[in-house]
Amino acid sequence: MIKQFLNLGKQPIANGFLQKKDIETEYFFNLGVGFDDETKLVTQTEYVDPPLMFNDEYVYRGSMSKTMREHFKALSIKINPDCKVLEIGSNDGVFIKNFKTDKAISVEPCGNFAKETNAMGYTTYPEFWTQDLANRIDLKHGKQDIIFSANCICHIPDLDQTFKAVESLLSDHGTFIFEDPSLAEVINNNSYDQIYDEHPHVFSVIALDNLLQRNGLTITRVENQTVHGGSNRIFAKRIGATIDDTVESNKSYERILGLDQYKTFEKFADRVKQSKVDLLRILNGCKEEGKKVIAYGATSKSTTVFNYCGITPDLIEYITDTTPEKQDKLSPGMHIPVVKPEDKIDDSVEYAYLGAWNFAKEIKANEKDFIRRGGKFITHIPNVRLI
Ligand code: TYD
């Protein structure tokens, strides 16, 4: 049974950057978050229909940051180049492009990105991951040695179907490698903004192992990653494979944090409410003093924060973002203008809310001038403060 612990209120499609003319028809849903007693999964109480989020107008590009390009390159060189690799959710090819086109296949339901990887020479199935698709890939390309997925499995409402389909397509000793934001890090960082329509689940290793095991797979290794505010890279194989120490050490750490207990999430919900009060206090203070505040990075995460806290262009004048598909549009729900960074992070900007706090290191290195002239970043991670 799923028991709700947090209500993040009325939320739009997190990556639904829009034009003024589309405001009237903008889609909203109620973002409730709960805990499943049986599997220990943290999951939304109502799922948004995937085609509303993942379609030909999808705007998130994995290759926009150097950190992510290097992260995927580093993993790819550890994989034997003779392996047959399938990627679920290949986005703009940021991972798959590290492999030869005759060894790797992509699955990507966002048609705009499926076209891009197809044009790069990778057979790309422009579809959602299903058992039917796995069966067709099996018939045409055979079993796969590596099935990889980054920041995608936590996007899929039906995890049982997803894992069953993966199990059916893996070669005998094949490995399913996937990575998503870690629930332990969300709790440690109070990063409630990891929860939005596209992230119906936030995974603990404990919950994942429960779900994988009921579908014929078992976690054999866990690697903690720093990307996306703290992620876990999970290695899973068929039940019976050798399991290394990282699995139990991660699970026991999660038990210490109480990730297997509802009451932990009730306390988290209290901290989230306080974060909202503290962030509004800083932004309202800036407004009263006539300071110019912008946001840095039009992230999905900031869609959750802005809509939960009710942050309008009154408090944050505009958001800068390097993604061409987001520029000259309005942010979902709160309709803050998104602009190109080049001409907009000028001397008039005094405060910048870090929407892309997960890239703080890269951003600080890029924005030395802003910092030198006394510009301050505002963050809510792990608590609301100025940097
Ligand atoms: P990310 O944190 O991956 O977003 P999400 O919450 O949607 O998963 O995305 C970072 C966003 O910030 C992306 O739209 C690109 C943008 N960005 C900049 O504008 N400047 C930068 O220096 C960096 C690193 C990212």
Question: Quick one: which atom of ligand 1 is closest to the CA of 67?
Answer: 24
Q: Rounded distance, CA 238 to CA 219, Å?
A: 9
The finding on whether 54 has its CB within 6 A of some atom of ligand 1 is no
Pairing of strands 351-354, 293-296: parallel
Going from the Cα of 299 to the center of ligand 1, the distance in angstroms, rounded, reads: 6
How many angstroms separate the Cα of 75 from the Cα of each of 225, 244, 252, 300?
Answer: 11, 19, 26, 25
Q: Rounded distance, CA 270 to CA 287, Å?
A: 26
pLDDT in tens, 295-341: 999 999 999 999 999 999 999 999 999 999 999 999 999 999 999 99
Global pTM? 0.94
- pLDDT above 80: residue 343: no
Going from the Cα of 350 to the center of ligand 1, the distance in angstroms, rounded, reads: 20
Going from the Cα of 71 to the center of ligand 1, the distance in angstroms, rounded, reads: 15
Closest residue by CA, ligand 1 atom 1: 299
Ordered DSSP codes for 2-69: EEEEEEEEEEE-TT--B-GGGGGG--EEEEEEEEETTT--EEESSPPPHHHHSSTT----GGGSHHHH
Ordered DSSP codes for 115-129: HHHHHTT-EEE-S--
Residue 300 has a pLDDT of 96
Q: Rounded distance, CA 92 to CA 63, Å?
A: 7
Mean pLDDT of 91-98: 97
The finding on whether 186 has its CB within 6 A of some atom of ligand 1 is no
pLDDT in tens, 102-123: 999 999 999 999 999 999 999 9
- pLDDT above 80: residue 275: yes
pLDDT in tens, 13-30: 999 999 999 999 999 999
pLDDT in tens, 216-231: 999 999 999 999 999 9
Mean pLDDT of 228-237: 97
